[in-house]
Amino acid sequence: MLSTVTSGEVVLVGAGHAHLHVASRAASFRERGIGLTLIDPDAFWYSGLATGMLGGEYEPELDRVDPRPLVESGGGRFIRDRVVGLDGDDGQALLASGARLPYDVISFNVGSEVATPAGMTVAETAWRAKPIRGLLDLRRSVEEALSPGSGRGSGALRALVIGSGDTGCEIAANLDALARSHDAAIHVTLITDAPRVLAERSGLISKRVARLVRGRGIDVHTDATVVEVGGDGCRTDDGRFMPGDLMILATGLRPPGWLADLGLELGAEGGLLVEATLRSVSDPNVFGAGDCVSLVGHELPKLGVYAVREAPVLYRNLLAAASGEPLSDYRPQKRCLTILNLGRGTGLAVWGPLHWLGPAAMWLKDRLDRRFLALYREGSDGTEPD
C-alpha cells in the first residue's frame, strides 16, 4: 500500500517542459504552505527552435529561458546544481556540489541523451544532438571554421551527420543553411543504416525529403552502419571510411544513464517507470515526466510535446500528493503534430497520414514555438543566467 505525504517540500529536478509549467505556478504551492524548489545546472533550452538556432535563423537568447525568475516570482526557490543521487529512506536529494536537499515529494523532468547504438565506438570529439546547448557550441565552431581568418585549408568543411531521423535531417539541412548564410561552403553527408532517410515516416515523405536535401548538395548514404566515429571521420561495418571535420551523432534519444543509480524501478528503455498518475511504481514520493520516464503500458516517442501534455497532470498531482489528496491520470494523445525545420524557411509538418512540406509549415512552426516560449519568458530576457 502506497503512503501519501501530507505537506512539506516539493523538489523539482530539471527545468524540463513539464517543470516549467509547475514552476510558473509556484504561488499555488506557497498558498498551501508547501515549499517548491527547482534544481537545474543550466537553463531551459527549447528543442523546438534548436536546429533553427544551429542554422543561424534564431539567436540563442530566443531559445533559452532562465527558470530562476519563473519559480522565484511565485515564492519558490531555484538552485543551480545537478542532482546526482537519491537517499530515498531519508528523503534527500544528493547534489553535485555535495549538498543534500530534503524533500517530501520529488519529481524528475531531466530530459534525455543521445543513444549510442550497440557496437559503435565514439570519439570524445564527436558532437551530439543533445544537450541542446551543445548545438549552439556546434554553430559557433562551424562559424569559426568558416570565417576567412580561420586558417583552414581551401577545401569545404566536411560534416558527417550520423542518423537520418527527424533530428539528423534537421541538423544536416541547418548546417547547410548556416554555411549558406555566411556565403561559405560546407559539405554535409547524412549517413544512416536504414534503407532510406526518415525511415520511420511514410515512403512518400522520405522520398520528398531525400530529394530536398540532395537538391541542396547534401550527400545521403543509406544502408551504411557506422561502427566507429573517430576524430577524422567515420568507419562503416563493411570497412568504408568517410573522412570528416565534424561528426555529429543524431542516433536517437534515451533516458539519462545515471537514473539507474537512483534505486528506482526503470522501464525497459531505462526511464523511471511511472504509473498513469506519473508517480513512480516503486516510490510513492517520486514523480516524473518527459523523456526521462517510461509510462506503464505505453511506448511514447521522445518528444517535448508529450512532456507539455503531461505538465498539467504533474502539477495537479504534485499539489495533491503534498496535500494528501487523490491523484489524476495522464492519458497520452494518440497522435501529435510534428513540424521539422528543414532550413532556408522550409518546414515539414506531419499529422497522422497527412503532411505538408514548404514555407507554410515553417511559418506555423515558428508561431507555435514562439507562443510556447512566451508563456515562460516573463522575467527572463533569455540572456545567460548567472
Ligand X SMILES: Cc1cc2nc3c(=O)[nH]c(=O)nc-3n(C[C@H](O)[C@H](O)[C@H](O)COP(=O)(O)OP(=O)(O)OC[C@H]3O[C@@H](n4cnc5c(N)ncnc54)[C@H](O)[C@@H]3O)c2cc1C
Which of 68, 302, 309, 355 is in the footprint of ligand X by CB under 6 A? 302
Q: Is 52 in the site for ligand X (CB under 6 A)?
A: no
What is the closest distance, in whole angstroms, from the C-beta atom of residue 78 to ligand X in the complex?
11
Contact 47, 58 (CB under 8 A): no
- As a whole number of angstroms, the distance between CA 347 and CA 254 comes to 25
Which of 10, 26, 44, 174 is in the footprint of ligand X by CB under 6 A? 44
Q: Is 317 in the site for ligand X (CB under 6 A)?
A: no
- Identity of the residue, 236 or 382, whose beta carbon is nearer to ligand X in the bound complex: 382
Please give the backbone phi and psi of residue 370, each rounded to the nearest 5 degrees, phi first.
-65, -40
Q: Is 109 in the site for ligand X (CB under 6 A)?
A: yes
- As a whole number of angstroms, the distance between CA 108 and CA 91 comes to 14
Which of 82, 180, 344, 377 is in the footprint of ligand X by CB under 6 A? 82
- As a whole number of angstroms, the distance between CA 165 and CA 318 comes to 35
Question: At which residue does the C-alpha cell 527549447 appear?
Answer: 46
Question: At which residue does the C-alpha cell 511514447 appear?
Answer: 300
Binding track, positions 160-179, relative to ligand X; x by CB under 6 A:
-------x------------
Q: Is 366 in the site for ligand X (CB under 6 A)?
A: no
Q: Is 77 in the site for ligand X (CB under 6 A)?
A: no
Q: What is the DSSP string of 23-65?
A: HTTHHHHHHTT-EEEEE-SS-EE-GGGHHHHHTTSS-HHHHEE
- As a whole number of angstroms, the distance between CA 311 and CA 19 comes to 7
Q: Is 68 in the site for ligand X (CB under 6 A)?
A: no
Strand partners, 39: 13, 79
Contact 170, 293 (CB under 8 A): no
What is the closest distance, in whole angstroms, from the C-beta atom of residue 208 to ligand X in the complex?
19
Instruction: Output DSSP code: residue 266.
Output: B
Q: Is 64 in the site for ligand X (CB under 6 A)?
A: no
The vertex-38 CA angle with 36 and 43, nearest 5°, equals 150
Residues 130-149 that bind ligand X (CB under 6 A): 130
What is the closest distance, in whole angstroms, from the C-beta atom of residue 167 to ligand X in the complex?
5
What is the closest distance, in whole angstroms, from the C-beta atom of residue 137 to ligand X in the complex?
13
Binding track, positions 274-293, relative to ligand X; x by CB under 6 A:
----------------xxx-
Which of 11, 17, 58, 245 is in the footprint of ligand X by CB under 6 A? 17
The vertex-64 CA angle with 292 and 184, nearest 5°, equals 110
Q: Which residues bind ligand X (CB under 6 A)?
A: 13-18, 39-42, 44, 47-48, 50-51, 82-83, 109-111, 129-130, 167, 290-292, 302-305, 307
